[in-house]
Amino acid sequence: MRSRRMVGNVAVLAVAAGVSLAAGELVLRTFVSLPPRRVEPEVRYTPHAVRRFTLLPNQKAYSYGAAVTIDQRGFRTNGGTAGRYGCPVVFALGDSFTFGLGVADEETWPARLERRLKDRIGGGTSVVNGGTISYGVFQELDLLRGPVWPSRRALWCTRSTGTIS
């Protein structure tokens, strides 16, 4: 008798757990959206001796479904054409927050800064998006010291806290 009762309790517990899991699944599918699907090709990298990796130049790819264009120097463009390097340039240095992970070229904060500068002071200033996904401070400093950025002037966005210095 006791074993029958225990089997009955286990059966009730199993049914209750199944119903609870099914209800939880239904609630999650109704109210929680899935992460964005990955679109190929994703942003590609090339090995680097000091920084371990750097963006592969001259590529059109995707970052969580958003179109990404990398110019001939290995920097993300701000939409449209690649940044001009012959005029006054602001170099936006940072990690995935600066790169604009998951947003289109023209939606990154360096692209928005470039549009604001053009609206306020004319078209003579360019903003180069030097952000690279997963870069840390030492990788960013090495990028700033390298031959690809000779002017040594930069706007540095530290981490995703929104602090700009």
SS3 letters for 71-109?
Answer: CCCCCECCCCCCCCCCCCEEEEEECHHHHCCCCCHHHCH
> What are the backbone dihedrals phi and psi of residue 53, each rounded to the nearest 5 degrees, phi first?
-160, 160
pLDDT value, residue 85: 55
- Distance from C-alpha of 115 to C-alpha of 139, rounded to nearest angstrom: 27
Classified as helix, coil or strand, 41 is coil
Q: Where are the domains of the chain?
A: 1-34, 45-164
Evaluate if pTM is beyond 0.75.
Answer: no
- What count of other Cβ atoms lies within 10 Å of the Cβ of residue 93? 23
Q: Which among 7, 18, 41, 153 is positioned nearest to 93, based on CA atoms? A: 153
Per-residue pLDDT of the chain (165 residues; tens, 9 = 90+): 678 888 888 899 999 999 999 999 998 888 888 776 778 899 999 999 999 999 999 999 999 889 999 999 899 998 865 555 567 778 888 899 999 998 999 999 999 988 888 888 877 778 889 899 999 888 988 888 876 665 656 566 555 554 444
